[in-house]
Each structure stands twice: as structure tokens, then as C-alpha cells.
Structure 1
């Protein structure tokens, strides 16, 4: 019987997510539907997002904007533990906060999608106060969850009032340049519906516009684009299949090998051996 310590992920009232791990873990691609406020207790989280990569280190606070794509890698610290708590800030909770606080916001947010906030004493104490609910009782009432959510919003605005537009911009997404977006984000393995949302379109509208731009379906284009990128990385950049298939949006190595051979008539290994 193995004595290996298993990683833990707990979700309380769909508002608080606790993650604890003891080995390096690669996370799945994620479509982030809500704002997230996170505190890194130990270890590091490496986050690849649409504008680059950000590293959340021990005792740092991160604020991530809704409606974006991310990939993460969890890396334990010197104490061999990775621990983080994330607070989910939904539009419903934010609209309730605005109503109760009698706030107004007529401006559109135009800043960065992922920010590192100051990890002051108030912020640290707040996240420490969440630990007993997650590690001991493993539950929290809806009323208390709402109070803790409001406290998180207050703390962020107290530290940085300008983030009012970050939180309270409830305007629907406008259509963005579909071709530019897809060329930048084809390697994210998420449902087509999420690509549609991120470009400000309904699913039907996304498929219609996609056909006008690329003259093919989204699924077929994504497969072709990922395979073409794989061929380039293996042939020109001398990279190994096992190192790139996840980064290109393939779910597993077997699927990658099968798709690659169907497309190019050779396996990745054969392509490697053919290189001078």
C-alpha cells in the first residue's frame, strides 16, 4: 500500500477553492468565467494567459479578470507543499455588492487581465481566516460565504480604489477580431463555446464568422493548426513530442501520435529520424 500523500482540492459554496499538492502538477486549460482573487500560501503557481506568463509566489495576492483562458503549473515550495486559496467573485455577488453599497460605475475597464496586488496585513489576515473553514470544518453557510465575499471586495477596493471599473464593468463583451484571437489562442484545449464567449459571439455567430474568415469549421481548423505547429516545432526547433503535445492543446500523447500520422503520413519519431 502506497503512503503517498494525495493532492487535495476543496470547493466551498462555489465561492472558495482550496488546493493543496505535494508534487509538481500541470493543470488543465481553463476558461475563467468569473473574477478570481487568490493567495499563495506556499509554493508557486505558474500561469500562462493570453498576454504571457505570470508567476504567483509565496505570500503573493493575484486578481484575475473573468472571461479569459489560462494554463497553470503548480510547484511545491521548499517545504514540499503547494497551497493556495482562490475566492470566486461572480457577477451576481458583485451586482449585489453594488446594490447594497449604492455604487455607480459608468466606465469600461481597460487595464490588465491579471494583476498582482499588495500582500498587506489585512489581505493576509483575510485569507488566514478562510483556512479553518476549509481545513477543519470543510463547510461554510451561504450567509457567511456572502459576508466573506463582500469582505474580499472591500479589501481590494480599500487597497486600490481604481479597480472599481475592474469589478463593476458588467457590459456585454463586444465582438473582437476573430482571426487575431484564434491565431493567438489556438493551443488552448477548451470547448468551442468558450472561444465564442471570449470573442463576444453566440455559438452560432462564432461558427458563421469563423467560416467567413477561415473557410472551414472551428474544430477542423484547430486540429490542422495544432498539427502544423507540432510539425514545425519537431522539425525546425528539434523539440520532443512528449514536451509539446499538451502545450498545443492535445488531450493525450496517443491522440497526438494518431492525428500526426494521419496528417503527415509519418510518426513524430520518423520525422525526427529523417532530420539531418
Structure 2
């Protein structure tokens, strides 16, 4: 699967990414786990459909009742249509420079900055609806005038969200421009029991699969394939022994494509079929 560089793939002309950029994303069929190299921070205002994003340490699923502020970096996007509607999402990209300008003008650095989370969830309301309508109007203006208005509208949005969410949102903005690292171990252990493949987890670590395997073995003294398989099978055994969950309800969540493969792996490790527990 190829990697999509965003917002570069949406720009009409090649070159530097603008400090502010609006794009209307529409589609007529589902896109599952698209590999995305997000090179700007981004507001995702979903209008129709559902959106799931997998990050290195967590995942989130939203519909049009919520919007997302997503930190730049590698992630996996799944975009789903509702019934027969066109999937539609208005995206607002912005640079570190625009955050710094806002913070210098409106926010005091008076608290300890926490490590940036991958996303911030925004509950949609009447303001967000009117804001999106105003963005649509701005995008029809001449370029020079549009850029000036967009800068004003971006500041307005951050002021509104700061007023709505207070210090929590302020601290999130501060954290976006702090230098940070994403340790390999943190990413791995956040995805032990997900259905993500090794290749997808390697991507979220910003590594090729071969590099990921090499670093994994150095950290865990074991191949990643066997390590994940053992962890997930032990988790399956625990769920089957301590709950009323059915075998057919867990194999997909633990990374197996079909029940037969899961049952064979389970029997190979524990000597019994999962249905016997």
C-alpha cells in the first residue's frame, strides 16, 4: 500500500505547503486504512460519513456530530460512507507558525506542557456550522483577499475553541509545537491487541517493515510476528475463560482474517480448540 502525503496531494501547484490551506474532500466509496503522512496539523470537519484514525498510541472514530484536530505525523485513515451518501469532509490545514502566532498573541505560558496527544475531539455546535459556511464563502474570494480572510478566520476559530474548552485546549495547542519523540515501545504496546498488521504498526512508528523488525528484536529479544501472535492468543484465551464472548466475536479484533486460521493458531499453542473452552 502506498503512502499518501497530505496536504501535498491536495495542492494544485507543487512547492511549499501554505501556512493555511482549506480542502473539500469528497468520495463515493469507502477507503480502508489509508497510509497517511500528515505534514501539517489539521482540523477535520466531517459533514457526511464516518472517519476512523489509527495513531501510534490510540485510535478514534467520529461521525458528523464531532470534529477532530489532528497532530501532524503518520496515521491510518478509514473513511466510510453513510448509506448511499457522498462522503464529505472539510479539512483545514495549518502550520506550527500559525499556532505560535496565536499563542504569542492570546495565551500565556504559565503551566507545564504535557506531551501532545494525537488528536483533540471537538463537539460540533451551531458555531461550527456557521464557521464552515463562512469558509465556503471565503474560498470563492480572490486569492490575496482569501488568504487574509482565512488568517482572520483561523484566529477566530482558535479563540472560540479556547473559550469553549479553556486551559485544556490551550495546553493542547502548546504541546503541538513542542519537540517530542514517540518511543517504539510505547507504540508497540498500545497496539498489542489491535487488528493492525506488522506493516501498519511499522508505518505508525515511521519505519520501514525491515527497520521495525530490527529495532523490535533489539528491544524485545524476539521476532515481532511471534511476540504479537503469542500476546494476542493469550488475550483470546483469557477472554474465552473469563467472559461469555464467542470465538466468532474476537478473532478479527486480534488480527486474524478468518476463524479457521485463528482456531489453528490457538490449537497449536494451547493444544485445544478455542470452542472447547
TM-score range, shorter chain: 0.5 to 0.7
Match of 1:121 in 2: 126
Deviations 1:188-214 (A, max 9, x none): 6469686269xxxxxx9x999756424
- Counterpart pick for 1:45 among 43, 51, 59: 51
1:81-100 correspondence runs (5 A): 81-100=86-105
Q: Verify: 1:107 aligned to 2:112, yes or no.
A: yes
Q: Verify: 1:173 aligned to 2:173, yes or no.
A: no
1:217-236 correspondence runs (5 A): 224=225, 228=229
Aligned CA-pair RMSD: 4.8
CA distance in 2, matches of 1:148, 1:190: 36
Match of 1:195 in 2: 205
Q: Verify: 1:21 aligned to 2:31, yes or no.
A: no
Unaligned 5+ segments in structure 1 are 1-8, 198-203, 254-267
User: Does the 8 Å contact 1:47/1:53 carry over to 2?
Assistant: yes
CA distance in 1, matches of 2:179, 2:49: 36
CA distance in 2, matches of 1:87, 1:37: 5
- Counterpart pick for 1:60 among 57, 66, 86: 66
TM-score if structure 2 supplies the norm length? 0.59
Distance 1:83 1:193, change over 3 A: closer
TM-score if structure 1 supplies the norm length? 0.60
Match of 2:170 in 1: 164
